[in-house]
Chains A and B, each alone.
Chain A
Amino acid sequence: MKTMLVILLSAMLTDNFVLSKFMGICPFLGVSKKLDSAAGMGIAVTFVMICATLVTYPIHHGILVPNGLEYFDTVVFILVIALFVQLVENFLKKCVPSLYKSLGVYLPLITTNCAVLGVTVLNIDNSYSFVQSIVNALGAGLYKIPKDVESVK
């Protein structure tokens, strides 16, 4: 439990993905003009991060490692991320069209947001367990909402 808390807090604060690792700067500068689009973007990225972690972790440990294909990580991960971004896009288009409009081109660009690929690769590099990975993804995502909101003020 204590490790979980440490991972969560360090991903949110001390190792903040935007401000200390410089990942995901483009949408950070691009959509943080308005409060609701900033929060919407933060939530969308967090969702994609968690889903991507949920899928990439079993793929890495269940399929790639037993077959000695670890170096395929990058290709497989990016395809999984692209899939989930498409999912979020379709969902927002149907259910929250106003948010969909205000996010504009930055929504498909979540695919190339380095924070998302970064978090999935870091989970593997730091050899976190499955649950730790999810907590890390959650923390890394949560940073984004308050930070985006702050930069609006």
Chain B
Amino acid sequence: MAENKTPLTKELTKGILRENPTLVMLLGMCPTLAVTTQAMNGIGMGLATTFVLLGSNIVISALRKVIPDKVRIPAFIVIIASFVILIGFLLEGFVPSLYDSLGIYLTLITVNCIIFGRAEMFASKNGVVASICDAIGMGLGFTIALFLMGSIREIIGSGKWMGLEIPVLSSNPMLLFIMPAGGFFTLGMIIAAVNKLSNKKPPQELGCKGCPNAEACGKAGDCQ
């Protein structure tokens, strides 16, 4: 299938920045905030999720004509959960330290919206090869986002990076960045930077016309 060549590379690269699952589509927030106190955990979580995403995308796209439409959601969830059990065993056996630090969030990959979202939006409508590219792209995008979050929080919050001490920061770490509040703050800053980079401009028109909350507010806000 020669005509599929251009789209395939597109499927691969779209997840990294343009449709980044975490930073642009805001899916899978709970592992993003919870495990990113260290850069290493971010990578581990990202790769584990990529593995599950890859497995579930392959199986779901291969079975997309077999699974009846009405029971697709339970079917998808069972497929995803099986891969989560698999990665749980693999990590417990080979990288027990990572298994311990991810803890319950490893089980919770099952309910990560990114995986379910890709199954519903992409794998159930496209072929196996395209779904593999999509899964790798989305997984990498997620891993990069988690690594970025983890790096920022680890460097500022504990003065270390991947186990290396950083001269000035390690003597005055800002503990806030390791704590939950710092997670929300870092995420907000990164999303703001990504929006700036991808030239998403806020609406230019002032007043109710350009206001995203116009419907909810109903002109109660007294703005022009």
Expressed in whole angstroms, the Cα–Cα distance for A33 and B216 within the complex equals 9
Q: Across the interface, which residues of B come within 8 angstroms of A79, CB to CB?
A: 74, 77-78
- How many residues on B have C-beta within 8 angstroms of the other chain's C-beta atoms? 25
Indicate if the CB atoms of A117 and B183 lie closer than 8 Å: no
- How many residues on A have C-beta within 8 angstroms of the other chain's C-beta atoms? 27
Q: B111: CB under 8 A from chain A?
A: yes
Q: Across the interface, which residues of A come within 8 angstroms of B30, CB to CB?
A: 22-25, 114
Which parts of A99-130 form the interface with B (CB within 8 Å)? 111-114, 117-118, 121-122, 125
Q: 1/0 contact trace for B113-125 toward A, CB 8 Å?
A: 1001000000000
Indicate if the CB atoms of B33 and A78 lie closer than 8 Å: no
Indicate if the CB atoms of B29 and A75 lie closer than 8 Å: no
Q: Across the interface, which residues of B come within 8 angstroms of A73, CB to CB?
A: 107
Indicate if the CB atoms of B107 and A117 lie closer than 8 Å: yes
- Measured CB to CB, the closest approach of chain A to B28, in angstroms, equals 9
Main SS at interface, chain A: helix
- Chain B minimum-CB-distance residue to A24: B30
Indicate if the CB atoms of A125 and B116 lie closer than 8 Å: no
Expressed in whole angstroms, the Cα–Cα distance for A75 and B104 within the complex equals 15
**Given A71-B89, A74-B84, CB of A23 within 8 Å of CB of B108:** yes
Q: Tally inter-chain residue pairs, CB-CB below 8 A.
A: 67
Which parts of B72-99 form the interface with A (CB within 8 Å)? 73-74, 77-78, 81-82, 84-85, 88-89
Q: Which of B74, B84, B89 has most chain A Cβ within 10 Å?
A: B74
- Chain B minimum-CB-distance residue to A25: B29
Q: 1/0 contact trace for A54-98 toward B, CB 8 Å?
A: 000000000000000001111100110010000000000000000
Expressed in whole angstroms, the Cα–Cα distance for A132 and B218 within the complex equals 47
Expressed in whole angstroms, the Cα–Cα distance for A112 and B216 within the complex equals 27
Indicate if the CB atoms of B108 and A118 lie closer than 8 Å: yes
When the two chains form the complex, which single residue of B77, B81, B183 contacts A22, counting CB atoms closer than 8 Å? Answer: B183
Q: Across the interface, which residues of A come within 8 angstroms of B85, CB to CB?
A: 71-72, 74-75
Q: Across the interface, which residues of B come within 8 angstroms of A33, CB to CB?
A: 216
Indicate if the CB atoms of B81 and A118 lie closer than 8 Å: no
Q: Across the interface, which residues of A come within 8 angstroms of B89, CB to CB?
A: 71
Q: Across the interface, which residues of B come within 8 angstroms of A74, CB to CB?
A: 81, 84-85, 107, 110
Q: Across the interface, which residues of B come within 8 angstroms of A113, CB to CB?
A: 111
Indicate if the CB atoms of B29 and A78 lie closer than 8 Å: no
- Measured CB to CB, the closest approach of chain A to B70, in angstroms, equals 13
- Measured CB to CB, the closest approach of chain B to A107, in angstroms, equals 14
Indicate if the CB atoms of B104 and A25 lie closer than 8 Å: no
Q: A6: CB under 8 A from chain B?
A: no
List chain A positions with a Cβ less than 8 A from chain B: 19-26, 29, 33, 71-75, 78-79, 82, 111-114, 117-118, 121-122, 125
* 5 pairs, CB–CB < 8 Å, chain A vs chain B: A22-B30, A33-B216, A72-B85, A82-B74, A117-B108
List chain B positions with a Cβ less than 8 A from chain A: 29-30, 33-34, 73-74, 77-78, 81-82, 84-85, 88-89, 104, 107-108, 110-113, 116, 180, 183, 216
